[in-house]
Amino acid sequence: MSSELLNILSDGEGLLEEEEEHILFKEIFKKEEYVKQIEEAKEGGRNSIEVDYEDIKTINPEIAEVLLIKNGWKELSNYALDVIHPKNEIKHIKYSNIPFIDLKDLKRSGNQGKLVRTEGIVKMAGQIKPDPRMFTYACTCSEGTVVKVDMQKGGKPNPDDLCSCGKLFKHYDLVNEDYEQTQWLKIQEKPEGTSASTQPKDIKVLLEGDLVDSTVVGDVIELTGVLSASVNLKNRNKNFFYLKGNNVKVEDKGYEDINYTEEEVEQFIELSKNPELQERIEKTIAPRIVGLEEEKKAIALQLFGGVPEYEGTWIRGDIHVLVMGDPAIGKSSVFKYVSKNLAPKCVYASGKGASGVGLTAAVLKAGEFGDDGEWIFEAGAMVLADNGLCVIDELDKMTPEDRKHIGDGLEDQEIYLNKAGVNATLRSRCSVLAGGNPEGDRVDRRKEDIISQLKLDPHLISRFDFIYVREDQPGVNRDTAVGGAILKKKVRDNRKEEGIPPELLKKYIAYARDHVNPVINDEANNILLDWYVKVRNPEGNDEEEISSLSARFLQALKRATQARARMHLREEATVEDAYKTIEIMKESLESSGRDSISGRIDVRLAEGRKPKRQDKIDKIVEEVIVEFNEEYYNPAKPYEWFNNPNIRDAGIIKVLEKGKKLGLSGLTLSNAEEELKKGITLRLTNGIP
Ligand SMILES: [Zn+2]
């Protein structure tokens, strides 16, 4: 075909006389798969068939070129439809394997009107709406002339079609309405293609007919469509580019964007055998940030993740890590490093300015697609990060209500939307690395338990597998600044040598997650179970309680143990994995589960629940109150004795003495006073004299 003819075609004139295209499609549709498709479409009521661009190219490369020029697809689709007999049922030709264009390059000039293929993640989806197409009217006179009106072209009849009786069109009867379903989407670059620092590019998409409802927010889709422009002559600010959908395919959410060569796979296997692999991986995480060593160990496990298991319901394999502490400790830098350099798929979000629904998923009324009253489904960071890592910094800047949404998403790994009669379940199977500052920006390790100082909802805290709390240490940084800087430089230089090149580690992680699904062997399982029983019940005399405790903590241990095996590309998690994991978990509990009053590690603190020793304190306080009431109770002024400094102090000392006898060595005068006051308030609230 000459370039002149191509030009004519590209202007949509379709002046070709030759039947080359008809011959081409006759040839193509002889192939068994198309015969089958056409049969199926006729029987199943589908109104489209899918034609492979490669098939056109094989038979006639010149005609294949036409498909890629401006409006060429229109011409070819008409030829294709001409060939299908009877063609009434099939109205739409979908194309597959059209040359790929990256989403961020779509809006470049020269692409308009062309059929392109791209991919992205569905960020927003609008409602499904009927769009009027062909309406049929009939004149009410005896002649009954039928007039078809194209609603897409102004909805006015062609004067030549009107009835000869002279009746005005407005008096005609509407005898048939033909609607097409439509739906708007917005897709954006996949999390693999973006870094924490750049705003992902996006584009709107219009779906029609059987493409409608083929995807939900959070899906990664391959989209073939025509780059079109929506033009608003009155308000040019409202002009936008969009893709008019031709074909939609929902993709698997693996790491197919990360390719590795055979040589690299050999390199992975070599690396997996390194006896210091775990340490080397930890040293690769933000090597410039000194400190946060324990946190990095948990993050290393998190990057690999455990294996989801089915025990009546799905138990997640994803590991969630919480790091709370002073802004100066560098946690934000670690978060950014991990999201930018190591996680194969990651979405970074800040709690500042983002709402809980913004981080999970929202149904909102917005004018995004031109209609202000329309309900729109929007995927938040945790849905976009499905099958990857979601980093949420500045958790403390969110409202408790917003954080509750995150807590639900962390455990169920699903987000339910129900609004305006539309239900949807979105998947958020991601691991979450979250952090923030404690209230008032500092925690005090000497004052009650650490977790309650964070002012985070226990429901949310209990969803994290590893929790770290870094207290503020005034003076330390300043005093050691000079010496520290020299030491730090040395540490950093060493680390650079000992770590793994980040690009290699990122591929290694993707490979491990795609290929290795470790099972914990019996021996290792028993070690985890024994340790679990020990930390849950340090005094070893509370058998009944153990059976009623939630196994959440044990599950955390199991998936971390699987993650360590996966880190070494082993299908079996061994005793060594179990011991190493317990070590890391112990450090986390030291940081978040150490009870200053009992001096013990109490897992319940790390779960944001009442510490075990609180039962003892409550009992002691109750005893002291009853004792003092016997002596000093005045019905006119109950608990007047607590306002008398001498009697009150005697009560406080009594609580303290009884506490020490029961092993609460960390109990202080101010703790005791606080507890006594709480006890009295509780009695007054409950109306107990
Ligand atoms: Zn008439």
Structure tokens at 178: 């033909």
At 488 the pLDDT is 67
Model pLDDT for residues 105-128, shown as the tens digit of each residue: 988 878 889 999 999 999 999 888
The single-letter code of the amino acid at 342 is L
Has residue 397 got a pLDDT over 90? no
Has residue 596 got a pLDDT over 70? no
At 603 the pLDDT is 67
What CATH number is attached to the domain comprising 238?
2.40.50.140
Model pLDDT for residues 529-564, shown as the tens digit of each residue: 998 887 776 555 544 344 334 577 889 999 999 999
What's the 154 CA to ligand 1 centre distance in angstroms? 22
Model pLDDT for residues 633-653, shown as the tens digit of each residue: 777 777 888 888 888 899 888
Domain final residue pick, 550, 577, 606: 606
Indicate if 622 and 662 belong to the same structural domain: yes
What's the 88 CA to ligand 1 centre distance in angstroms? 29
Indicate if 72 and 137 belong to the same structural domain: no
What's the 133 CA to ligand 1 centre distance in angstroms? 24
Indicate if 54 and 168 belong to the same structural domain: no
Residue that has been written with the tokens 């210091």 in this structure: 276
At 246 the pLDDT is 95
Helix (H, G, I), strand (E, B) or coil at 117: strand
pLDDT classification of 153: cutoffs 50, 70, 90:
confident
At 11 the pLDDT is 44
Considering the domain boundaries, does residue 422 fall inside one? no
Indicate if 88 and 132 belong to the same structural domain: no
Indicate if 115 and 233 belong to the same structural domain: yes
**For 318-332, 346-360, 383-397, which range has the lowest pLDDT when averaged over its residues?**
346-360
Rounded Cα distance between 568 and 408, Å, is 32
What's the 51 CA to ligand 1 centre distance in angstroms? 44
Considering the domain boundaries, does residue 299 fall inside one? yes
What's the 132 CA to ligand 1 centre distance in angstroms? 25
Residue with more model confidence, 156 or 254: 156
Indicate if 593 and 655 belong to the same structural domain: no
Q: Are 468 and 294 in contact (CB under 8 A)?
A: yes
What's the 156 CA to ligand 1 centre distance in angstroms? 17
Considering the domain boundaries, does residue 411 fall inside one? no
What's the 163 CA to ligand 1 centre distance in angstroms? 5
What's the 149 CA to ligand 1 centre distance in angstroms? 16
At 244 the pLDDT is 95
What's the 142 CA to ligand 1 centre distance in angstroms? 7
Indicate if 480 and 624 belong to the same structural domain: no
Who contacts 24 (Cβ-Cβ below 8 Å, separation ≥6)?
56, 59, 60, 63, 79
What's the 278 CA to ligand 1 centre distance in angstroms? 86
What's the 166 CA to ligand 1 centre distance in angstroms? 6
Q: Are 53 and 64 in contact (CB under 8 A)?
A: yes
Q: Are 395 and 351 in contact (CB under 8 A)?
A: yes
Indicate if 571 and 621 belong to the same structural domain: no
Rounded Cα distance between 104 and 202, Å, is 7
pLDDT cut 90: percent of the chain above it: 33
Tell me how crowded residue 474 is: count the other CB atoms within 10 A of its CB.
10
C-alpha distances (whole Å) from 630 to each of 625, 641, 644, 647 are: 9, 11, 16, 13
Has residue 188 got a pLDDT over 80? yes
What's the 352 CA to ligand 1 centre distance in angstroms? 67
Model pLDDT for residues 597-634, shown as the tens digit of each residue: 666 666 666 666 677 778 888 888 889 988 888 888 77
- Helices and strands (H, E) in the chain, number of each type: 26, 22
Who contacts 238 (Cβ-Cβ below 8 Å, separation ≥6)?
230, 232, 370
Structure tokens at 438: 């404690």
Considering the domain boundaries, does residue 155 fall inside one? yes
Domain final residue pick, 250, 268, 297: 250
What's the 141 CA to ligand 1 centre distance in angstroms? 4
What's the 257 CA to ligand 1 centre distance in angstroms? 63
Residue among 117, 123, 1 nearest 50 (CA) = 117
Across 76-83, average pLDDT:
87
Who contacts 612 (Cβ-Cβ below 8 Å, separation ≥6)?
538, 598, 600, 602, 604
What's the 158 CA to ligand 1 centre distance in angstroms? 15
Model pLDDT for residues 502-521, shown as the tens digit of each residue: 999 999 999 999 999 999 99
What's the 135 CA to ligand 1 centre distance in angstroms? 17
Indicate if 584 and 476 belong to the same structural domain: yes
Owning domain of residue 450: 289-348+387-399+430-606
What's the 143 CA to ligand 1 centre distance in angstroms? 6
Cα 399 to the chain's mean position, in Å?
19
**For 261-270, 523-532, 583-592, which range has the lowest pLDDT when averaged over its residues?**
583-592
Q: Is 272 exposed, middle or buried (0-12, 13-18, 19+ CB in 10 A)?
A: middle
What's the 408 CA to ligand 1 centre distance in angstroms? 65
pLDDT classification of 480: cutoffs 50, 70, 90:
very low
* Residues surrounding ion ligand 1 at CB below 5 Å: 139, 141, 143, 163, 165, 167
What's the 179 CA to ligand 1 centre distance in angstroms? 26
Q: Is 490 exposed, middle or buried (0-12, 13-18, 19+ CB in 10 A)?
A: exposed
What CATH number is attached to the domain comprising 60?
3.30.1640.10
Our count of domains for the chain comes to: 4
Indicate if 145 and 208 belong to the same structural domain: yes
What's the 153 CA to ligand 1 centre distance in angstroms? 23
The single-letter code of the amino acid at 605 is L
Rg (CA), the chain: 34
Across 271-294, average pLDDT:
92
At 117 the pLDDT is 96
**For 10-24, 158-172, 377-391, 436-450, which range has the lowest pLDDT when averaged over its residues?**
10-24
pTM assigned to the model: 0.78
What's the 162 CA to ligand 1 centre distance in angstroms? 8
Residue among 21, 53, 58 nearest 117 (CA) = 53
Q: Are 115 and 155 in contact (CB under 8 A)?
A: no
What's the 131 CA to ligand 1 centre distance in angstroms? 29
What's the 152 CA to ligand 1 centre distance in angstroms? 25
Rounded Cα distance between 375 and 217, Å, is 13
At 522 the pLDDT is 97
pLDDT classification of 407: cutoffs 50, 70, 90:
confident
Indicate if 621 and 577 belong to the same structural domain: no
pLDDT classification of 173: cutoffs 50, 70, 90:
very high
What's the 176 CA to ligand 1 centre distance in angstroms? 17
What's the 180 CA to ligand 1 centre distance in angstroms? 29
Tell me the pLDDT of the chain averaged across its residues: 83
Rounded Cα distance between 53 and 672, Å, is 79
Structure tokens at 546: 């153990």
Domain final residue pick, 250, 279, 312: 250
